[in-house]
Amino acid sequence: MLSFKLNNGTEIPSIGFGTWAIPDSDEAVGAVRTAIECGFRHIDTASRYENETSVGQAIATCGVERSQLWITSKAWPDECGYDNLLRAFDASMRRLGLDYLDLYLIHWPAPQYSNWQQRNVDTWRAMEKLYADDRVRAIGVSNFLEHHMQPLLDSCRIKPMVDQLEIHPGYAQQPTVDFCQLNGIAVEAWSPFGRGIVFKNDTLVQISQKYGKSVAQICIRWCLQKGIVPLPKSVTPDRIKNNLEVFDFELSPADMQTIDQMPCFGWSGQHPDEVEL
């Protein structure tokens, strides 16, 4: 597993295992354990996913030392604000059964809330406290566009290290990616398969056949070559394993450009300024 370096010098595994929509259950425990057995060392969850308990059980029983794993969770908007965030973090830690996190994120910028900019600034102060207290190795945000990020950058003591965004072929979010990378903020890609819609795209199918790889592997490789950390999700052991088999080939500049320029498709419809939270 290769890694990317964050702006605080910490190294994050270059591919993460996403757990959204895998409910708290034996299935979730099994999926995370299978991912770790296949070589994943980066697991992404959130309080909103309601599966932190299962993720924690998988971590506790996987046979891999905690220090070798990178665990991410996120705070939902109703958990934000200075005091709320600190309580939410403690609750996530209890469910996960951990004494520290590798990465903690503000899940959405939530401009639907009144005085949202100040609310996010207050939340970020709590994130900085968690970081200063060595309770988390890195802090960041999720679904923040440039106009959500700028108030934090204008007021923070510690710059966000990560922004997790919906990114996949057909929804590259290039302006926000450029903004983040210009400011030394690493980008992660949730839904890198566009909720499965990418698998039926003729252009991606043709590119996958050219390399003898699956469309999923093409999407993951595309992210990696853009310096983005993809977070693929699957509960099928063979697919989980295949999602890591992307380090033995490289997409050509022409194919990268073709994917970059694909028209919009597969978008979830969840715009940070409009999504119902």
Q: Is 197 exposed, middle or buried (0-12, 13-18, 19+ CB in 10 A)?
A: middle
Is 184 part of a structural domain of the chain? Answer: yes
pLDDT in tens, 150-202: 999 999 999 999 999 999 999 999 999 999 999 999 999 999 999 999 999 99
Is 44 part of a structural domain of the chain? Answer: no
Is 35 part of a structural domain of the chain? Answer: no
Is 272 part of a structural domain of the chain? Answer: no
Residue 251 pLDDT greater than 90, yes or no: yes
Is 147 part of a structural domain of the chain? Answer: yes
Domain of residue 246 covers 70-260
Q: What local confidence, expressed as pLDDT, does residue 1 receive?
A: 78
Give the pLDDT band of residue 230 (cuts 50, 70, 90).
very high
User: Cβ neighbours of residue 271 under 8 Å, at least 6 residues apart?
Assistant: none
Is 135 part of a structural domain of the chain? Answer: yes
For residue 159, give the CATH number of its domain: 3.20.20.100
Strand order in the sheet with 139-142: 17-18, 42-44, 70-75, 103-106, 139-142, 162-166, 186-190, 228-230
Residues marked as catalytic: 49
Average pLDDT score over the chain:
97
Is 53 part of a structural domain of the chain? Answer: no
Distance, CA of 138 to CA of 13 (rounded, Å): 13
Is 5 part of a structural domain of the chain? Answer: no
Q: How many domains does the chain have?
A: 1
Q: What are phi and psi of 153, to 5 degrees?
A: -65, -30
